[in-house]
Structure 1
Amino acid sequence: AGMRATVPVITMPLYLSWLHEQALAKGVKFIQRTIESIDELQEEADAVVLAAGLRGGELTGDDGTVYPIRGQVIRLANTAGLVHWLCYDEHPQGVTYIIPRRDDIIVGGTDVANDFNAEVDPQTATDMLRRAIGLVPQLAGCEILEHKVGLRPARETIRLERVDGHAVPVIAAYGHGGAGVTLSWGTAQRVVELLET
């Protein structure tokens, strides 16, 4: 079985820069720091939208169900001129995807629950590239630009609700796993609705 589709593909560094600019234009201030408790923000925030990834449950103090899904990918130069992406979830040796973007190709991947290893595993990289080249031989000549690992914050269901018991109103918005970007605009809309009620 197979499916052919036309879908938008996001180049994350460009997209995140655009989102950052949009937020700045709306007057959002960005402050980077580590907090141990949401209550530390009571003097400076009217409300907290908690989108803290793996620390989301820890910071609410009432949710120990968040776990990482480890993802490892390879970024290749798109010297092959690929324009069609391929995803083979049921490849016998592991999930395999090839996603051409404007200037590069993302090859993956892994999908390992409860794995906190944020280091690149060379054998995993070799296996992923071998699977991808087996599906798309043109990848054999593409330069490897980068290896990346990410820990996707997951839970059985997304947590998107008000959380009581803190010194400031809190909306939890975490646990999206590998679907964070896909669900981000709908999540943001629901957060606004929760803040307005």
Structure 2
Amino acid sequence: MDGGKRDVLVVGGGVIGLTTAVVLAEDGHRVGLWTRDPLGRTTSAVAGALFWPYRIEPEAEVGAWLERSLSQYEQLARRPDETGVRIVPGLMTDTPMTDLGSWAARVPGLRQARGEELPAGFGQALRATVPLIDMPVHLRYLKERLRAAGGTVERRTVTGFEEPAELAPVVVDCTGIGARVLMADASLYPVRGQVVVVENPGIDEWFVASLPGSADMTYVMPQPYGVLLGGTATEHSWDLRPDPAEAEAIVARCARIHPALAGARVLEHRVGLRPARPRVRLEAETLPRGARLVHNYGHGGAGVTVAWGCARDAARLALDS
């Protein structure tokens, strides 16, 4: 990039920031991305990363984001080793078909599960074949794709958006839970998620169950590196330390679905903070010195699911003068 000048600086190195930066760079703009944390230590790196809307509003806009993102992930799934995206079948329990939006019509083979397909104790589920993403691989892929398009990635910590605004006329805020402090956004709060990664005893389908009103969830996500078991959804908790009791409970819940998991060797414990908000903040404002600031944060537990759709809308806002 000539003289290090940028048309846009994206702040935030999770899946939302990287995807937004890729869209802008591939549209021909000079893009830099600043990330406080290494990509492997962002909240996105911890995600179960099943393509399914979870804790995200507004419903009227989510449908379009989902459809655009699904199309992108289907293309990326043609090269799973490179992109980390695979198309995997599984069961989503206690979710009526009528609760889904128009995006569901694009999911091939989506149907009610038959009785013999349901684990004991479950009376209803949807059977679906959707993208499941290996996030460490996918984040590296996005980083390399950004660089291939002429973008740069730099480790930088900011205390506000004035600093990047001095270096680029457009700044995109993809700081996730960090926006609570950076934007003094009290409506943004963490939803703590803990997961356990174990060796795969032969599971090749995903499974999700959640109990309304409970912080406990049960999900099983077969990944190339093992099986990711979840999980928790503890609101307003900032604790990034794995809780041994929670980990034990997670494995026990998942073992009721797949008994072989009870004896599987534990490989890793992970904790992340989902950036929850009454609705995604996707809008632009003008900073005091004239730079354009675009916000793209507050995606709850669906950041991976809507990343490409939100990135396209954020890019449009960034360049709409």
2: CA distance, partners of 1:94 / 1:70: 11
Which of 187, 193, 196 is 1:71 aligned to? 193
| One-letter amino acid of the counterpart of residue 261, structure 2 | L
Secondary structure (helix, strand or coil) at the match of 2:281 reads: strand
Residue type of the partner of 2:160? Answer: S
CA distance in 1, matches of 2:231, 2:144: 30
Alignment of 1:95-134 (within 5 A): 95-134=217-256
Does the Cα contact within 8 Å between 1:38 and 1:60 map onto a contact in 2? no
Partner residue, 1:5? 128
How big is each residue's C-alpha offset from its partner over 1:55-114, in whole Å with a ceiling of 9 and x where there is no partner?
Answer: 2243235x3211100000001111x12111111112989310011122311100001111
User: Is 2:316 the counterpart of 1:193?
Assistant: yes
Give the letter aligned to residue 280 of structure 2.
Answer: I
Between 123-132 and 157-166, the greater mean CA deviation after superposition: 157-166
* 1:163 alignment partner in structure 2: 285
Structure 1 gap segments, 5+ residues each: none
Of 160, 167, 178, 1:55 maps to: 178
- Specify whether residues 37 and 45 from structure 1 end up closer, same or farther in structure 2 by C-alpha distance, changes over 3 A only: same
CA RMSD, 1 decimal: 1.6
* Superposition deviation, residue 192 in structure 1: 1.2
Shift of the 82–145 alpha-carbon distance from structure 1 to 2, 3 Å rule, reads same
Contact 1:153 1:176 in 2 (8 A): yes
Cα deviation digits, residues 130-162 of structure 1 (max 9, x gap)? 111111101123211000000111111000000
Whether 1:30 and 2:148 are equivalent positions in the alignment is: no
| Cα separation, 2, equivalents of 1:121 and 1:75 | 14
Given candidates 153, 160, 166, the residue that maps to 1:43 is: 166
Letter of the structure 1 residue corresponding to residue 171 of structure 2: V
Letter in 2 for 1:94: D
Structure 1 length normalisation: TM-score?
A: 0.93
- Sequence identity of aligned pairs in percent? 37
Equivalent-residue separation in structure 2 for 1:96 and 1:55 (angstroms): 27
Q: What stretches of structure 2 of length at least 5 have no aligned partner?
A: 1-123
Which whole-Å CA distance do the structure 2 matches of 1:93 and 1:54 have between them? 19
Once the two structures are superposed, the pairs formed by residues 76-87 of structure 1 within 5 Å of their partners are: 76-78=198-200, 80-87=201-208
Match of 2:91 in 1: none
Q: What is the rounded CA distance, in whole Å, between the counterparts of 2:178 and 2:285 in structure 1?
A: 15
TM-score (norm 2): 0.58
Distance 1:18 1:52 in 2: 20
Which string of whole-angstrom CA distances, capped at 9 and with x for unpartnered residues, describes residues 148-191 of structure 1? 00011111100000023343210000000110100100010001
Q: Distance in 2 between matches of 1:42 and 1:11?
A: 33
Provide Cα deviations, 1:18-70, integer angstroms capped at 9, x if missing partner.
Answer: 00000001111112121112111232112111001112243235x32111000
For residues 166 and 45 of structure 1, what CA distance do their matches in structure 2 show?
14
Tell me if the contact between 1:100 and 1:106 (Cα under 8 Å) persists in the aligned partners. yes
- Contact 2:215/2:232 (CA < 8 Å) preserved in 1? no
2:210 to 89, 92, 106: 89
